[in-house]
Amino acid sequence: MSLQKTTLAEGYDRSALLYDQLVGASYVAGVRRLLAQHPVPPGASILDVGTGTGIALFEAMRQAGRTSLAIGVDLAPNMVLRATAKAMSMGLPARFFVADAEHLPFPDATFDVAICSSAFHWFTDRVAAAREMLRVLKPGGRLLLVSASAPCGWEWFVAMMAAARLVTGRLDALQVPNLPSPEAVAASLMAAGFQILAANPTMHRTPMDPAAMTGMMSLVVPNWNAKMDPITSSRVAELGNRILSMKQSSGGNYTWTAVEIVAVRPLLSLPSRAF
Ligand SMILES: C[S@@+](CC[C@H](N)C(=O)[O-])C[C@H]1O[C@@H](n2cnc3c(N)ncnc32)[C@H](O)[C@@H]1O
């Protein structure tokens, strides 16, 4: 596995126990909107890619009522453990595995529905991941995808970079994640062979919570950890305070931009190198 993926998985491993409490609930709204418009039929087989603690998969399972197969995969082993424990405690027949979205360990045409919630923007090779999701979907199978998209959270990144520079004295203390535009997300899916049925860019303003955000970012974001190691809780708290003092510049809110997409694996697809 590449260093970037290893570092990302380690970051999410560290966040597994706090994930639901810090950010998990905020991601489920987009999945709920997609599920309301494109319900998962009873008895469907569902795959959740970049499943984290399983939030989106559980949502889809509850809607379907009955599933023939419900699987979540994630790079981070602790996320997989957490999702498994949650499924057991809720009595839901979901199974979770450690796997890379770019190399899904399933035969062709296994699933009726694939879900990818707030994970696509992390994938190193998005077209490769999209090809894999297409491959494991049955012809006519649907992908429900929510991805963060640029310029998501720019107020945070401005404030965090400034705060990190003040605290560390380093200009390169933090780097802004390379978020795709909504068009780039759709283009990756189409390049893989998906047909887009609906694409809806969304934007909402969210109050900044420096404690939650610095806590999450210090756990997860690879660049943060790489440049600021060792992260101590006092340093995270100091950053939180610095960011709090900068809140005024953005009115205390930040902008969350994402794209919600429904795509389908065409019933008939031409070989990609036909000509
Ligand atoms: C922001 S979390 C989203 C989790 C969950 N889908 C949700 O909606 O709450 C992103 C997840 O993607 C996973 N991830 C990132 N890159 C991955 C990859 N290449 N393959 C599988 N999972 C990946 C991370 O480990 C993390 O759990």
- Find out whether the beta carbon of 52 lies less than 6 Å from any atom of ligand 1: yes
Question: What is the whole-number distance in angstroms between the Cα of residue 48 and the centre of ligand 1?
Answer: 10
pLDDT in the model for residue 123: 93
Cα gap 189→199, rounded to integer Å: 11
pLDDT in the model for residue 91: 96
- Find out whether the beta carbon of 13 lies less than 6 Å from any atom of ligand 1: no
- Find out whether the beta carbon of 75 lies less than 6 Å from any atom of ligand 1: yes
- Find out whether the beta carbon of 130 lies less than 6 Å from any atom of ligand 1: no
pLDDT in the model for residue 223: 47
- Find out whether the beta carbon of 114 lies less than 6 Å from any atom of ligand 1: no
Give the residue, by CA position, lying nearest to ligand 1 atom 15. 122
List the pLDDT tens digit at each of the 275 positions of the chain.
787 788 778 878 877 888 887 776 778 888 999 999 999 999 999 999 999 999 999 999 999 999 999 999 999 999 999 999 999 999 999 999 999 999 999 999 999 999 999 999 989 999 999 999 999 999 999 999 999 898 877 777 777 667 666 666 666 655 566 789 999 999 999 999 999 999 999 998 877 776 666 666 666 554 444 445 444 555 656 666 666 665 555 566 778 889 999 999 999 765 444 44
Using an 8 Å Cβ cutoff, are 153 and 214 in contact? no
Question: Which domains, from first to last, does the chain contain?
Answer: 3-152+178-207+256-264 (3.40.50.150)
Reading across the β-sheet that carries 67-74, which strands appear in turn?
A: 95-98, 67-74, 44-49, 111-117, 137-148, 253-264, 195-207
Question: What is the whole-number distance in angstroms between the Cα of residue 128 and the centre of ligand 1?
Answer: 15
Query: Which H or E element spans position 182?
Result: helix 182-192
**Prediction pTM value:** 0.87
- Find out whether the beta carbon of 77 lies less than 6 Å from any atom of ligand 1: no
User: Ligand 1 pocket: which of 12, 71, 73 to mutate (most atoms <8 Å of CB)?
Assistant: 12
pLDDT in the model for residue 15: 78
Q: What is the chain's Cα-based Rg?
A: 19
Question: What is the whole-number distance in angstroms between the Cα of residue 251 and the centre of ligand 1?
Answer: 30
